């Protein structure tokens, strides 16, 4: 009997005798010797762990980006032609970028590890005819396991004994309410996980009752194992940021090669020396390559992760920050993410009146007494409620109404009970009252309970239960059910003695109807607000849940995901199975809510949106979310309620499980993208200015800048301002804009035209200063000093031009005076620091001779400063006309 065979058989659709026969076992269990043999065949009951990458592997993975490879090539070429300083600086930037990437990844993994609270639970098993405790990893198919409230199910089991067993499976199915288990054969062989009532699944939690079952799947052969396998086989998607950087690197490389070759040919045509032109071409390549860009992008992303960490969002890999900013679709698990994962009393029907739970004064109502008495919730010494979520919700409601539950139960203790059974859907308890009489409290399904009631309590008076009363009760029950509330009815009677035989026939008859309550796992208020903000930002929220269709639809309406009556937007997993992938990719936009879905469905949904050209984020906390989290462009896991599988599959983990943090992350992601755009605009316009300066100078036969000048300008006046631009506060209307789309690049939204005209301006102004310096010499007659003065003025102008131009880049279209000159203190500090470092190489004796520059007089400095500053008013004027033109076109 091989594992593959056991995976194929729908054990839930087989009679238990056949299951015993398949695994050659019985209710008495296996022998120890047989179990040891089976471990050799099946392996241990544990999931395959993914091998962690070593620090060295992570370090080398940082060099995969095309831009990094281009930089390494530039460094090697520089070293080959003797420019060792250039090569060293470029390689230092590349290595710094790799170190930062590894550090962030390691830091994020450390944060994730700190969230882990994994334990190795034990299981109670029948071995050699006796009940023994063994480690769950030693379980094998055929073992008989005993379950009771508080246990974690250690493997997939086919149940054959059930005493009011309830199991909470939200981590696997997404359904918030514990499932009432049954041992009857499930006739539908295609039943989803949530409908296999005679099965218990690995890692789910027993909340009530007890049961026994035979292990039919261990380790990777469990439902959890299937998900882990899907997760391991899913492909990692490249983030928009990575696609953009790769595309940018390729464009730049082609442009650099074309320009360098063209300039080399032009130089030779003009009779210039071959070696000189090779060095000049290298200077141009150095000028064109934004060698600081990868490090700057990494730093901007790191700064974004720090801001998000303060808001409880732990980023596992840097590109995830920016990806959130480009998100079109958020596919979210319902339970615990959009809802509280905590049943709450919302409506109360008493005295023939349906009211909001908060408005009802229940202290002296019989309905409240029944809620407290017909209840198996335990209250710990710390005040924690332990038990079935439905029952704990009733006790919590009483506590919220300032009722001393423990005192009431102590005053009228339980004497006997009729436990809950799924067949009759009722439970009853008997309590001795202070006057010697006995109070019978019964709760259960409204329709079943009404059959056993003959009277109704209205304002403390007992009346015969009429057909009109029954209709009013059932109508209110229907109203609550259509709102996806889980309804429980309450009844009671007072007797003089406990029946000799305590059973449903002696206890649950001729009852007085007291009322009923409607409960729901309520939506998070912050989630509702976040969905509204996301909608304003053009982001569509999609709810995916294991709950029933009506419940899912009601919650989605309350959250604002769909409008009231928008039933066509809701689809079940079974209905989804009837749609092939190609058709679904065309119709996916119709649906906003998915109910009763499996892990495979979630992946199908994410892929369909991706085929529709959308960037998809997936939030979730369950094991069932992990494959979709991994498939999505960005996976967002929950740190507190999330399973380790889902956290491991996520790009980002919310340490506080707060859905609202996702909207903060989206806003931060958008801010990061626009700030990266600003850095790229600044760097490429500056580099274009350098390229044009060198290229046109070569055409004119001028020798204006050497590689060391270009590299120093790039290192000092490019890097610090570019990093500081990453700290720019987000523009106020950033969350009123639509997502930029999958095809958007760093050059979108007017960035490319800005780079071109601003680069031309920088090159033109620099060359004009060189021309002025050569035609208005301070040292007339000394060609060497004239050239040195002109070179210094060109060097100073180009460097200062870039520093002044950094102010222009604070916004693509908005005026500098609208954005604000001094809001970003780090930016101002960066400009001053860069200016000082630039001035040092000109003003400090010895250092200036190493850089082949000289000191300037007052007139020369005034020309340099005036020319450099001129780029601000010129760009302001151009922006003014761009805004005017944009408004005219938008009318």
The residues carrying an active-site annotation are: 333
Do 453 and 512 touch, CB atoms closer than 8 A? yes
**Could you say which DSSP state residue 750 is in?**
T
Cα–Cα distance list, 558 to 170, 483, 522, 699 (Å): 21, 9, 9, 69
Instruction: Choose among 597, 534, 508, 553: nearest CA to 193.
Output: 597
Question: Could you give the angle at the alpha carbon of 408 between the alpha carbons of 405 and 411, nearest 5°?
Answer: 150
What residues form DSSP beta bridges with 332?
Answer: 543, 619
Question: Could you give the angle at the alpha carbon of 345 between the alpha carbons of 340 and 348, nearest 5°?
Answer: 155
Do 172 and 623 touch, CB atoms closer than 8 A? yes
Burial annotation 90-107 (CB, 10 A radius, 16+ → b, else e)? bbebbeebbebbbebbeb
Alpha helices, H only, 732-782: 751-775
Do 645 and 623 touch, CB atoms closer than 8 A? yes
Do 594 and 605 touch, CB atoms closer than 8 A? yes
Instruction: Determine the Cα–Cα distance for residues 177 and 343; give it in Å rounded to an integer.
Output: 8
- 460 sits in the region (left: phi over 0; alpha: psi -120 to 50; else beta) called left
Tokens of 94: 């590349």
Tokens of 380: 């710990």
Tokens 């295609």 belong to residue? 190
**Phi and psi, residue 888, nearest 5°:** -65, -40
Do 143 and 128 touch, CB atoms closer than 8 A? no
| DSSP states along 184-212 | S----TT--GGG-TTEE-TT-EEEEEEEE
| DSSP states along 421-490 | ETTTTEEEEEEE-TTS-EEEEEEE-HHHHHTTEEEEEETTEEEE--HHHHHHHHHHHHHHHHTTPEEEEE
Instruction: Determine the Cα–Cα distance for residues 332 and 597; give it in Å rounded to an integer.
Output: 13
Instruction: Determine the Cα–Cα distance for residues 832 and 720; give it in Å rounded to an integer.
Output: 10
**Could you say which DSSP state residue 718 is in?**
I
Tokens 């390494």 belong to residue? 72
Instruction: Determine the Cα–Cα distance for residues 358 and 360; give it in Å rounded to an integer.
Output: 6
Instruction: Choose among 85, 461, 454: nearest CA to 282.
Output: 85
Burial annotation 56-85 (CB, 10 A radius, 16+ → b, else e)? eebbeebeebbbbebbeebbebbbeeebee
Q: Which class for 287: exposed (0-12), middle (13-18), buried (19 or more C-beta within 10 A)? A: buried
Tokens 């992303």 belong to residue? 301
Strands 426-432 and 438-444: antiparallel
Coil vs helix vs strand at 99: helix
Element (H, E) at 278: helix 274-288
Strands 511-520 and 486-495: antiparallel
Instruction: Determine the Cα–Cα distance for residues 626 and 171; give it in Å rounded to an integer.
Output: 10
Instruction: Choose among 711, 699, 708, 688: nearest CA to 264.
Output: 699
**Could you say which DSSP state residue 48 is in?**
P
């Amino acid at each position: 009997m091989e594992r593959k065979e056991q995976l194929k058989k729908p054990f839930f659709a087989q009679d238990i005798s056949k299951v015993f026969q398949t695994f050659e076992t019985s209710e008495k269990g296996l022998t120890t010797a047989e179990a040891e043999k089976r471990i050799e065949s099946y392996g241990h009951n544990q999931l395959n762990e993914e091998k962690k990458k070593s620090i060295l592997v992570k370090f080398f993975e940082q060099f995969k980006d095309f831009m990094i490879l281009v930089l390494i090539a530039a460094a090697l070429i520089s070293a080959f032609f003797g420019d060792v300083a250039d090569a060293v600086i470029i390689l230092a930037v590349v290595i710094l970028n790799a170190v930062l990437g590894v550090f962030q990844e390691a830091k994020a993994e450390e944060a994730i590890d700190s969230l882990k609270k994994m334990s190795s639970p034990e299981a109670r098993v029948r071995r050699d005819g006796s009940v023994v405790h063994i480690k769950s990893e030693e379980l094998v198919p055929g073992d008989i396991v005993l379950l009771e409230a508080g246990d974690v199910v250690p493997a997939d089991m086919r149940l054959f004994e059930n005493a009011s067993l309830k199991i909470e499976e939200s981590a696997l199915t997404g359904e918030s309410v514990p499932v009432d288990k049954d041992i009857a054969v499930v006739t539908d062989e295609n039943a989803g996980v949530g409908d296999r009532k005679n099965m218990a699944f690995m890692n789910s939690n027993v909340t009530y009752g007890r049961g026994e079952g035979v292990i039919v799947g261990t380790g990777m052969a469990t439902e959890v194992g299937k998900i882990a396998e899907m997760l391991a086989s899913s492909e990692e998607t490249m983030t928009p940021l990575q696609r953009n950087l790769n595309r940018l690197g390729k464009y730049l490389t082609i442009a650099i090669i074309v320009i360098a070759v063209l300039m080399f040919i032009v130089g030779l045509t003009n009779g210039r020396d071959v070696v000189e032109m090779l060095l000049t071409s290298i200077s141009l390549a150095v000028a064109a390559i934004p060698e600081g860009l990868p490090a700057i992008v990494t730093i901007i992303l790191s700064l974004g992760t720090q801001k998000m960490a303060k808001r409880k969002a732990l980023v596992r890999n840097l590109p995830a920050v920016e990806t959130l900013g480009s998100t079109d679709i958020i596919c979210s698990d319902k339970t615990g993410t959009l809802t509280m994962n905590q049943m709450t009393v919302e409506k109360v029907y008493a005295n023939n009146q349906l009211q909001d739970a908060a408005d009802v004064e229940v202290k002296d109502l019989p309905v409240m007494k029944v809620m407290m008495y017909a209840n198996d919730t335990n209250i710990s010494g710390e005040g924690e409620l332990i038990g079935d979520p439905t029952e704990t919700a009733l006790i919590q409601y009483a506590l919220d109404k300032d009722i001393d539950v423990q005192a009431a139960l102590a005053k009228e203790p339980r004497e006997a009970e009729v436990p809950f059974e799924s067949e009759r859907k009722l439970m009853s308890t008997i309590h001795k009252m202070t006057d010697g009489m006995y109070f019978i409290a019964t709760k259960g399904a409204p329709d079943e309970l009404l059959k056993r009631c003959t009277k109704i309590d209205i304002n403390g008076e007992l009346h015969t239960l009429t057909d009109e009363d029954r209709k009013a009760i059932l109508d209110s029950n229907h109203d609550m059910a259509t709102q996806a509330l889980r309804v429980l009815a309450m009844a009671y009677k007072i007797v003089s003695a406990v029946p000799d035989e305590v059973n449903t026939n002696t206890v649950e008859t001729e009852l007085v109807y007291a009322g009923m309550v409607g409960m729901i796992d309520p939506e998070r208020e912050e989630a509702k607000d976040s969905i509204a903000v996301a909608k304003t930002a053009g982001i569509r929220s999609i709810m995916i849940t294991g709950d029933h269709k009506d419940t899912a639809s009601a919650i989605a309406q309350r959250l604002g995901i769909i409008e009231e009556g928008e039933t066509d937007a809701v689809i079940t997993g079974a209905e989804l199975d009837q749609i092939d992938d190609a058709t679904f990719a065309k119709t996916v936009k119709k649906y906003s809510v998915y109910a009763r879905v499996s892990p495979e469905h979630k992946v199908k949904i994410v892929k369909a949106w991706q085929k529709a050209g959308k960037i998809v984020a997936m939030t979730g906390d369950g094991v069932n979310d992990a494959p979709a989290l991994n498939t999505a462009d960005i996976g967002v896991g929950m740190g507190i309620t999330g399973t380790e599988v889902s956290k491991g599959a996520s790009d980002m983990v919310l340490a506080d499980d707060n859905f609202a943090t996702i909207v903060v992350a989206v806003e931060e992601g958008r801010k990061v993208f626009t700030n990266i755009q600003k850095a790229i605009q600044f760097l490429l316009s500056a580099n274009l200015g350098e390229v044009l300066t060198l290229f046109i100078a070569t055409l004119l036969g001028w020798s204006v800048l050497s590689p060391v000048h270009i590299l120093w300008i790039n290192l000092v006046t490019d890097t610090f301002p570019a990093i500081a631009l990453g700290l720019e506060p987000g523009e106020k209307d950033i969350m009123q804009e639509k997502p930029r789309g999958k095809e958007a690049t760093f050059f979108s939204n007017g960035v490319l035209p800005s780079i071109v005209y601003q680069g031309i301006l920088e090159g033109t102004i620099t060359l004009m200063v060189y021309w002025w310096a050569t035609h208005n010499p301070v040292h007339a007659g000394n060609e060497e000093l004239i050239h040195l003065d002109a070179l210094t003025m060109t060097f100073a102008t180009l460097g200062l031009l870039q520093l002044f131009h950094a102010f222009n880049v604070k916004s693509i279209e908005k005026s500098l005076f609208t954005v604000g000159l001094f809001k970003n203190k780090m930016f101002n500090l960066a400009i001053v620091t860069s200016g000082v470092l630039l001035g040092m190489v000109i003003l400090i004796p010895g250092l200036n001779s190493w850089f082949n520059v000289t000191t300037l007089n007052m007139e020369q400095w005034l020309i340099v400063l005036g020319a450099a500053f001129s780029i601000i008013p010129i760009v302001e004027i151009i922006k003014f006309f761009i805004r005017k033109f944009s408004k005219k076109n938008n009318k």
